[in-house]
Amino acid sequence: MDVAGVPSILIVEDQPETAEMLSTYFKAQGYQVKIAGWGKDALAFIEKTIPDLVMLDIRLPDIDGYEVCRQMREHRRSANVPIIFLTEKREREDRLAGLKLGAVDYITKPFDIQELRLRVRNVLRRADLEYTAHSITGLPGPLMSDEKLSKLSDESDWAILSVGLRGLSDFADAYGFVAKDEWVRAVALMLTHVVKESNDPEAFVGHLDDENLFVLLAPDEVKKSQEALRVRLEEARAFFYPRADWEAGQKDPETNLPKLDVAMGVLSAKDKSFSDLKNLKQAIFDAQDVVV
């Protein structure tokens, strides 16, 4: 949000009349609004300024809206920005393609402007909640986690267990998004149990993003917690695959079984000093050097 408390919307629409109508309407509703008529212009804008929501047409003069969405999801800064597709495409396959890429809504033209306003309001409300509590795990989301991590610059006795979930996209393609979410929820629960078993009542578990979590705890507890998590993961992983698929994968390593790998690593205040939150978060990602 460029202005405190005022949500910002990027409208990516190549029809000037439609873009201007949407801009005028949502500015009147109190939003900050920017317009891009080309997909590459939208991506260039997002590299510099992250909007709170993107309304994205699929048919654009250069790259299509699917590609814009795909590139946004590939970058950490824009990976969680809500996207609403606005399109003339009405086929079920088109809708599923948009939702699979991570769009939160898909609205066909012509649309009811009042309905669109309500959908925008609801999406932004959900996004606010997700920054506080992650929608799948219920753990603190990126905003709360950033606040916690930003305080570490004044402390000298801390350690972080970094946990990265790998293979989620391939697993979802094979078994569906519900199965993928169940795995994410299970890992978060295992982390929570590991923390409860530690001797650090001040330990904190949170999300860096949808695929990366961390535990902030006392340095003398971190290795023990890492090992406890490793044991739990190895015991639990098989239950999230169809039994026949898992057994086939155990018998034949060449079986094309999507892997649910978890990368872990430890970072501590003794490793190096961090000039800012961005550098600290990058170091947490980089610490994931052991794959379970």
Residues 92 and 183 in one domain: no
Distance CA 12, CA 34 (A): 9
- Please identify, among 110, 132, 154, the residue that sits at the C-terminal boundary of a domain: 132
Mean predicted confidence (pLDDT) in 211-233? 94
Separation CA 212–CA 15 (nearest Å): 38
What local confidence, expressed as pLDDT, does residue 270 receive? 85
At residue 58, does pLDDT exceed 60? yes
pLDDT of 184 strictly over 80: yes
More confident residue, 3 or 211: 211
Q: Are residues 76 and 158 in the same domain?
A: no
- pLDDT bracket for residue 30 (50, 70, 90): very high
Q: Are residues 147 and 128 in the same domain?
A: no
In a domain, 268, yes or no: yes
Mean pLDDT lowest for which of 61-65, 131-135, 168-172, 204-208?
131-135
The domain spanning residue 214 has which CATH number?
3.30.70.270
- Which residue, of 132, 153, 179, is where some domain finishes? 132
Tally of domains within the chain? 2
pTM of the model: 0.58
b/e per residue, 163-200, with b = 16+ CB within 10 A?
Answer: bbbbbbeebbebbeeeebeebbebbbebbbebbeebeb
The residue range of the domain holding 167 is 142-291
CB 75 within 8 A of CB 42: no
| Structure confidence at residue 26 (pLDDT) | 94
pLDDT at position 91:
65
Q: How much is the mean pLDDT over the chain?
A: 88
What's residue 238's pLDDT?
A: 94
pLDDT digits 0-9 by tens, 259-280:
999 999 999 988 877 778 888 9
Based on the fold, state whether residues 13 and 105 are members of the same structural domain: yes
Residues 258 and 194 in one domain: yes
Please indicate, yes or no, whether residues 153 and 287 belong to a single structural domain of this protein: yes
Give the separation between CA 203 and CA 195, rounded to whole angstroms: 7
Q: Is residue 218 part of a domain?
A: yes
Could you tell me if 47 and 150 lie in one domain? no
Domain boundary among 102, 132, 162: 132
Does 1 map to a domain?
no
Q: Are residues 110 and 159 in the same domain?
A: no
Query: Is residue 1's pLDDT more than 70?
Result: no
Whether residues 177 and 277 share a domain: the answer is yes
Give how far the C-alpha of residue 291 lies from the chain's centroid of Cα atoms, to the nearest Å. Answer: 20
With beta carbons less than 8 A apart as the criterion, state whether 214 and 194 touch. no
Q: What is the band of 89 on the pLDDT scale with cuts at 50, 70, 90?
A: low
207 domain-assigned:
yes
Q: In CATH, what number is assigned to the domain containing residue 40? A: 3.40.50.2300
Measured in whole angstroms, the distance separating CA 165 from the mean position of its chain's CA atoms is 11
- Clarify whether residues 276 and 161 are in a common domain: yes
- The verdict on 165 and 261 lying in the same domain is yes
Let me know whether 149 and 281 are in one domain: yes
Interval 102-123 mean pLDDT: 85
**Residue 137 covered by a domain:** no
**Domain-located, residue 2:** no
